[in-house]
Amino acid sequence: MNAILQAAAPIAPATPAKWTVAEVEALYQMPFMDLMFRAQQVHREHFDASEIQRSTLLSVKTGGCSEDCGYCSQAARYDTGTGREPLMPLAEVVAAARVAMDKGASRFCMGAAWREPKDKDLEKVTEMIRAVKDLGMQTCVTLGMLKDGQAEQLKEAGLDYYNHNLDTDAEFYGEVITTHKHADRIDTLGQVREAGIKVCSGGIVGMGESRRNRAALIVQLANLNPPPESVPINNLVPVPGTPMAGVAPIDHFEFVRTIAAARIAMPASFVRLSAGRQAMPEEVQALCFLAGANSIFYGDRLLTTGNPEADSDEALFEKLGLRPI
């Protein structure tokens, strides 16, 4: 073979390409129109741009959490007015899942305000997973950090997704949370993967982090191998009584850029426009869908805070010609 042909021969990379923070920062710095165009191209290579996935949340154990996450209404140490509720009875969970399914949600996500689940609690959550699966819905739970063997128990019960957000850049993590580490989150995600459960992991913006921190969070998510199947991007819901209550909100266009950067860096993942929609005009939400968001939380509550009414989401989808999947 001559030298030219040799140079042109494809070389299979030993490991998948990794994103760098500089590359994702460069996406953020693109002219808005160019960034949106590129995000649309990537989105349309992997998805039908008129389809949107809907997940409904339910807080199955509320408040009284030992952790100090600076944004969270459920941390016991902050005076947020969020009541404490023990683990919900199975029948109530199933009733809520049935309502969500009837309204058109395809996935039911059960959240618990725990640092980590105790074995006896996990047992009860596995009953919830089995019952919700029996209705014909996809299941997701978010229970905090997992120890050896727990992810396998969840898989055994039929769990589809485990949500565990990296939340913010490893370098900014200590400004937000001190009672556990970013490395602990990565460790739990590894256990979830090993057990064969799909990963749902994303983060929160608007906590006073820099654009570089936002780019780094996207890199840390995209470079998980493989990247999470589902990537929730939350805009901080400021909760009175938490340390983050008074942080200045980020500009809507910066939020849309974050969605676009996540879409480009994780082309095959569902990117979920998550918390914070109540404070977003419909037009901004539409820009997020244009930037590649193709999933939402659906139903009038997130965990402890509000979310747009299902009927108003339906009306928005109708206006945009978005079809639920």
- Catalytic residue numbers, as ranges: 65, 69, 72, 109, 140, 200, 272
- Binding segment toward ligand SF4, per CB under 6 A, in 19-27, 68-76, 149-157, 246-254: 68-76
- Burial class for 47, CB neighbours closer than 10 Å (0-12, 13-18, 19+): buried
Structural contact between residues 166 and 221, judged by C-beta atoms closer than 8 angstroms: yes
237 in contact with ligand SAM (CB under 6 A): yes
Q: How far is the CB of 206 from ligand DTB (least distance, A)?
A: 12
Report the amino acid identity of residue 22: A
Cβ neighbors of 7 (< 8 A, separation 6 or more) are none
A 10 A CB-CB count for 37 gives: 14
Nearer to ligand DTB, 82 or 153 (CB): 82
304 in contact with ligand DTB (CB under 6 A): yes
231 in contact with ligand SAM (CB under 6 A): no
113 in contact with ligand SAM (CB under 6 A): yes
Among 18, 115, 181, 323, binds ligand SF4 (CB under 6 A): 115
Q: How far is the CB of 300 from ligand SAM (least distance, A)?
A: 16
DSSP 8-state class, residue 249? P
Among 125, 275, 291, 322, binds ligand SAM (CB under 6 A): 275
- Length, in residues, of the chain: 325
Report the amino acid identity of residue 2: N
A 10 A CB-CB count for 269 gives: 26
Give me the residue label for tokens 């007015």.
Answer: 81
Under rule CB under 6 A, how many of the chain's residues touch ligand DTB? 16
Tell whether omega for the bond before 226 is within 30 degrees of 0, i.e. cis.
yes
- Binding segment toward ligand DTB, per CB under 6 A, in 33-41, 84-92, 297-305, 315-323: 297-305
Q: Give just the sign of the alpha carbon dihedral 289, 291, 295, 301.
A: negative
Cα separation, 176 vs 179, whole angstroms = 10
Among 53, 55, 59, 74, binds ligand SF4 (CB under 6 A): 74
Stretch 159-178 residues interacting with ligand SAM (CB under 6 A): 164-165, 167
- Binding segment toward ligand DTB, per CB under 6 A, in 30-38, 242-250, 300-308, 313-321: 300-308
Among 88, 110, 176, 204, binds ligand SAM (CB under 6 A): 204
Cα separation, 48 vs 89, whole angstroms = 39
Q: How far is the CB of 70 from ligand SAM (least distance, A)?
A: 9
Nearer to ligand SAM, 42 or 159 (CB): 159
Question: Residue 158 — left, alpha, or beta (φ > 0 → left; ψ -120 to 50 → alpha)?
Answer: left
Give me the residue label for tokens 């039929």.
Answer: 158
Residues that bind ligand DTB (CB under 6 A): 57, 73, 111, 142, 163, 165, 202, 232, 234, 237, 274-275, 302-305
- Contact positions vs ligand SF4 (CB under 6 A): 65, 67, 69, 72, 74-75, 113, 115, 144
